[in-house]
Structure 1
Amino acid sequence: MSEVNENTAGDELVPYIDPLPVPKVLRPASADVLRETEIAIRPTWVRLHSQLPPTLMWGYDGTVPGPTIEVRRGQRIRLAWTNRVPEGSEYPVTSVEVPVRPPGTPPASTEPGREGTVPNPDVAALPAWVVTHLHGARTGGGNDGWADNAVGHGDAQLSEYPNDHRAVQWWYHDHAMNITRFNVYSGLVGTYLLRDDEEDALRLPGGEREMPLILADRNIDTDDDGQLNGRLLHKTVVLDPKNAESGMPVTLPFTGPFTTVNGVIWPYLDAEAAWYRFRLVNASNARIYDLVLLDEDDTPVPGVLHQIGSDGGLLPAPVPLDFDAALPTLTVAPAERMDLLLDLRALAGRSLRLVNKGAGQAAGVPDPVNNVRYPQVMEFRVRECAEPDDFVLPRVLSGSFRPYEHGQIQHGHRLIVLTTPGTVGGGGHPEIWEMAEVTDGQVELPTDGVIQLKGADGTVKTYRRISRTMNDALGFTVAEGAFEQWSFLNLGGPVHPMHIHLADFQVMGRDAYNVDGFDLKLGGTRTPVTFDPTRVIPLAPNEHGFKDVFRIYPGQLVRVLGRFNGAYGRFMYHCHLLEHEDMGMMRPYVVAPAQALKFDHMAGHGGHDGHNGHDGHGS
């Protein structure tokens, strides 16, 4: 395999020459809930770009992305996610690990090709072992897609979804233990729309003027002549070839140079001069997009794009996306959803481009040093509308939305610490530490796994680590129907988009902390991690709704409040950087009836008093 030089193979692809595909809509039968609808996972050949040869992928119902599943609120359905990948099938992903490059140079992840490295034979040998998680759904633990419960060829995962939820966009994807990053990358994603009467009353754009935009970045392998051969390439950068603790390589999460929308690289949409509704989801393994809408002169376009919903449904009111100081970009982390309205009524004859902005360049300008070699995402080509569009954007979207007031809701507290890569005992990777407050003073300071936290009220509290890996003892048990505030503290490193299964949350606050007191070599604090009142971090205007994915930035403690109701069972929460999830940033928790927990003698069933890890931000 020849080495691919900078600015060669990927530049042969011309942007905006392929139309945007729209996934087919699947409306499961509901007359008899005992009759399930099968969605079969099959190999398929996909044209990612008209200048590329076909790419082998796996798809739900044989398409990438899978069909858009559409249901009504309260319509209980059963889906049989069936593995129809023939035994012995070729795994569709080539995986390589390349050396890290010097600072200030484009990382290898911005370029296609293997750079002379040998593919990982263990990835090539993977079987079709899959399990589907309906991300965001309120359903029992047995239906949720537990990562270990993946199925092989010919078997089916039968899941029941009550759909007792406000109108919302969920999405479905593979969640197989240890290999989610490869299975999702192979194409196993799709979107799921739940409708209700409140949404109907808004008379939002629909039909051909409503469509999903499923974003996912990809890399492509090359042949011996350096030409793109269409094969999916999972190319990651090695930071530590053989970590002294784990013996395993430590790699950065995957980010690829090419952006696909609904399975096509850099498509275009022929649109009328009318309102459109786009149900956007970032289905990438790890890339966080900073999106900007540009005109023909590479100038941001204000006044036409509005966010009306997020992960958990409609926002209270529309949020204008004017790419100004309030929201300079539309930032979308993996698994986040954005319900968007685009007003094209005054733009007939114009072309607009949605681009990904690099950190070091203006929007639309390539920024390979900051991992954005190709900023293109998609283009909108606006033509005259046959009939005037009389839709009026309402000032209030959801009359049923109620903001949570911290002091008015009885709730428990949990503290989760996201460690810095390189912390002792972590094998070189960041970890999730579940913490329990030490109230009897019987703990040695400083020591491994013990963190002191000085909160906004000035009180110093001491916490000890109670778990750090997926298979450690269960830490959190929650009474069904209970409210809890979970606080995520990022001690340093990358942004972690944290996802909690089952429940919807509201973001209560982002607080700045000085984390210098944490010692990586010790694995604990030598001086308390301390609230910093000089750095005020307001919530973004589009964070004031229900969410199930939260971006946890380094040096921040993010507080989210939600209610664990409507289902029982064992669930997971994890970082949605899929490489982090697969490498250990995932933990279980249990929801059980409050009445049954009265008989729990704590025999390995986790803390359920709701007060482990009080974060010092109120009772």
Structure 2
Amino acid sequence: MPNRRTFLAGSAAVGGAAVSPVLTGTSAAGRRRSAVATLTKFADPLRIPPLLRAGGTITIRKKAATVRLHSQLPLTPVWTYEGSFPGPTIEVQRGQKLRVVWQNVINGAMPLVAVQVPFTGPASLGTPGRGGATPLADVAALPAFAVTHLHGAVTGAGNDGLPENAVLPGECQLTEYPNQHRAAGLWYHDHAMHITAFNVMAGLAGTFLIRDQEESSLGLPSGAQEIPLVIADRNLDTDDDGQLNGRLLHKVSFIDRGPAGRLHTAFIGPYNTVNGVIWPHLNVQTRWYRFRMLNAANSRPYTLELNVENADGTLTPVPQAFVQIGTDQGLLPAPLKLDRLTLVPAERADVLINFAAHKGKRLRLVNVDQSPAPLGPEVMQFRVDDYAFTDWFRVPDRLSSTYERLSPEDLPEHKERWVAFATDDGTPFGHQEMWELQPVAADYRPHHDHERLVKVTRADGTTVTLRKVASTYEEAATFFVERDGWEVWNFVHLAGQGHPAHVHLLEFQTLARDVYTVTSSKDPEHGFVTFTAQHQRTDPVAPQEQGWKDTVWVGERQVVTVAGKFAGGSGRYVYHCHMLEHEDEGMMRPFVVAPKQILARGAGHGH
């Protein structure tokens, strides 16, 4: 699998010598650990969001509510869609146009507490409580400014949930979704400018299912046997005595770099939640189930494994426990049997699990990813009935007959784009940035120290020279995309951690995952920096990555190439890293989709 080492795991290797001590006393920390230990794992049943079969025009309210994340916790204030945490599962048929009035009726203050603590290693990231830090007053003062984005949808830009187009309480966001889309599991979530991480953590997310005849003909598990699993890590605040008070806590760490400013980590929490419940359990029958899995975490990747709980307390992994039948954007051509299933933030997987061989047993879904998890890897528990159910379902040999695998050689005429993931200082632990690149002549010479060049030598020996033209959201758009046009996007990793890249409107396939060596040099005369990426090898695209997708992991020192058609929409969209703290801190860029006749009149040339 691709390397999913995050900044926080890498920072642990650096050590805490260069940062201040953590702002907490030992006695308070001891009380916090004691309080955390009182939360019983698998004590509470999995919450199943209400199902909303929709069509025509509907109104969905964003409203404040309280929920119980765990039976041993006080009620937690959250922001929700229609009072559900997560929001209702919306289901539509292919081609069934849906108009949604997203009505903001939220009252009250931001329901979570936000703090920043000095980084001293993984323990400073994933422990409950404020760590002695003062809550951020600017976050506490945030209004309920929210806008809903249907992630993965093909729709006009005016309906896409542009970050600046958020609305305040008493206002509405009007959207229309054509749903001219193959059967897929999308999701809707908040996308407000600069505060997506807080709004999503507060509860503004839900699942959106599109059905079609191809899917229906397969006779897949349905009804009570089809269950959304919205997986996310969370943290909790504590009171003055170190007891958990149930309030959501957005705690991140920082390294003070002096004049270069603070470097913040992304959010990592110690509590795994599924459908808004900490370490839930689900009673299942000895039959097949279909799980619509979503990684809705702000930043944490999940590599999931199913284990049998043995009488002596040990765990035994179940081989090929997962039968994956779909990816972000629809069904795979054939089922895949997997020992483990990896989902980075915003990725989805359509998965079958058969509990027939585990009558009367308990199984545990665990996260085997090596990111910090101070309270263990547990995600949820399945409790299998001791009654032998007769299940006539059989996994089809063939799933999607309409799926076609793209190949670089057979692509229609297309435009090529380049995007780089880098850091402000070129070091592994600098501030994370996303650079928009434009090709330039091989002999191009910058004249300013702030300019950046990227030279990529590909597997065939050809070299592409690129210049950074933008790196912040506020800079003018430079990508002008032809509606219904095919494009190939190359995501180049130069420095820092890996990132999940998400392009709005675009359904794509991953064509290649190449590994490069990357070096950098500074021009002695003008001070600009040149990054040189030299091809080393081509890694195979894993079968589970070959389906239609909208989010792709770009690992360290990789160039990931994707291709797709920008069909069914026009206007201003965005693409970004889907680690929400990175997105909020600038790793997002606009692009414009328009008919070729409009683009021919000079788009991108100073208008």
Conservation of the 8 A alpha-carbon contact between 1:168 and 1:313? yes
Moved more, 191-200 or 518-527: 518-527
Q: Identify the residue that residue 336 of structure 2 maps to in structure 1.
A: 319
Q: How far off is 1:423 after superposition?
A: 3.9
Equivalent AA in structure 2 for residue 458 of structure 1:
G
Q: How far off is 1:450 after superposition?
A: 1.3
Conservation of the 8 A alpha-carbon contact between 2:480 and 2:603? no
Equivalent AA in structure 1 for residue 151 of structure 2:
H
What secondary structure sits across from 1:431 in the alignment?
strand
Conservation of the 8 A alpha-carbon contact between 2:295 and 2:347? yes
Counterpart Cα distance in 2 of 1:452 and 1:441 = 11
Counterpart Cα distance in 2 of 1:417 and 1:523 = 20
Q: Identify the residue that residue 42 of structure 2 maps to in structure 1.
A: 16
Q: Identify the residue that residue 64 of structure 1 maps to in structure 2.
A: 85
- C-alpha change, 1:519 and 1:13, in structure 2 (3 Å) is farther
What secondary structure sits across from 1:517 in the alignment?
strand
- Alignment partner of 1:151 is 2:162: no
Q: Identify the residue that residue 339 of structure 1 maps to in structure 2.
A: 350
- C-alpha change, 1:56 and 1:445, in structure 2 (3 Å) is same
What secondary structure sits across from 1:164 in the alignment?
coil
What secondary structure sits across from 2:598 in the alignment?
helix
Show structure 2 runs of 5+ residues with no match.
1-23
- C-alpha change, 1:141 and 1:213, in structure 2 (3 Å) is same
- C-alpha change, 1:371 and 1:386, in structure 2 (3 Å) is closer
Q: How far off is 1:29 after superposition?
A: 3.4
- Alignment partner of 1:306 is 2:323: yes
Q: Identify the residue that residue 10 of structure 2 maps to in structure 1.
A: none
* Length-normalised TM-score, structure 2: 0.91
**Aligned length, in residue pairs:** 574
Q: Identify the residue that residue 106 of structure 2 maps to in structure 1.
A: 85
CA deviation profile, 1:244-284 (whole Å, cap 9, x unmatched): 24x5x321000100011000000000000000000010111
Equivalent AA in structure 1 for residue 486 of structure 2:
F
CA deviation profile, 1:540-562 (whole Å, cap 9, x unmatched): 22101001100001100000001
RMSD: 2.1
Counterpart Cα distance in 2 of 1:295 and 1:238 = 39
Q: Identify the residue that residue 289 of structure 1 maps to in structure 2.
A: 302
Q: Superposition pairs for residues 305-454 of structure 1, below 5 Å? A: 305-322=322-339, 329-359=340-370, 370-385=372-387, 387-409=389-411, 410-420=413-423, 422-423=425-426, 428-439=430-441, 441-444=443-446, 448-454=451-457
Q: Identify the residue that residue 51 of structure 2 maps to in structure 1.
A: 25
Moved more, 202-211 or 414-423: 414-423
- Alignment partner of 1:476 is 2:493: no
Conservation of the 8 A alpha-carbon contact between 1:78 and 1:159? yes
Q: Superposition pairs for residues 126-141 of structure 1, below 5 Å? A: 126-141=142-157
Counterpart Cα distance in 2 of 1:315 and 1:525 = 43
Counterpart Cα distance in 1 of 2:51 and 2:540 = 39
Conservation of the 8 A alpha-carbon contact between 2:55 and 2:92? no
Q: How far off is 1:421 after superposition?
A: 5.2
- C-alpha change, 1:462 and 1:126, in structure 2 (3 Å) is same
Q: How far off is 1:461 after superposition?
A: 2.6
Q: Superposition pairs for residues 96-135 of structure 1, below 5 Å? A: 96-102=115-121, 106-135=122-151
Q: In structure 1, which of residues 464, 469, 473 is the aligned counterpart of residue 467 of structure 2? A: 464
CA deviation profile, 1:284-334 (whole Å, cap 9, x unmatched): 110111111111131110133211111011111111112xxxxxx321111
Q: In structure 2, which of residues 263, 276, 283 is the aligned counterpart of residue 250 of structure 1? A: 263
Q: Identify the residue that residue 170 of structure 1 maps to in structure 2.
A: 186
- Alignment partner of 1:211 is 2:264: no
Conservation of the 8 A alpha-carbon contact between 2:437 and 2:470? yes
What secondary structure sits across from 2:150 in the alignment?
strand
- Alignment partner of 1:275 is 2:288: yes
Q: How far off is 1:601 after superposition?
A: 5.4
What secondary structure sits across from 1:487 in the alignment?
strand
CA deviation profile, 1:455-493 (whole Å, cap 9, x unmatched): 112122321111111011111011111111100011122
What secondary structure sits across from 1:596 in the alignment?
helix
Equivalent AA in structure 2 for residue 483 of structure 1:
W
Q: How far off is 1:430 after superposition?
A: 1.3
Conservation of the 8 A alpha-carbon contact between 1:41 and 1:85? yes
Show structure 1 runs of 5+ residues with no match.
31-35, 323-328, 360-366, 606-619
Q: How far off is 1:503 after superposition?
A: 1.1
* Length-normalised TM-score, structure 1: 0.89
- C-alpha change, 1:406 and 1:179, in structure 2 (3 Å) is same
Conservation of the 8 A alpha-carbon contact between 2:329 and 2:507? yes
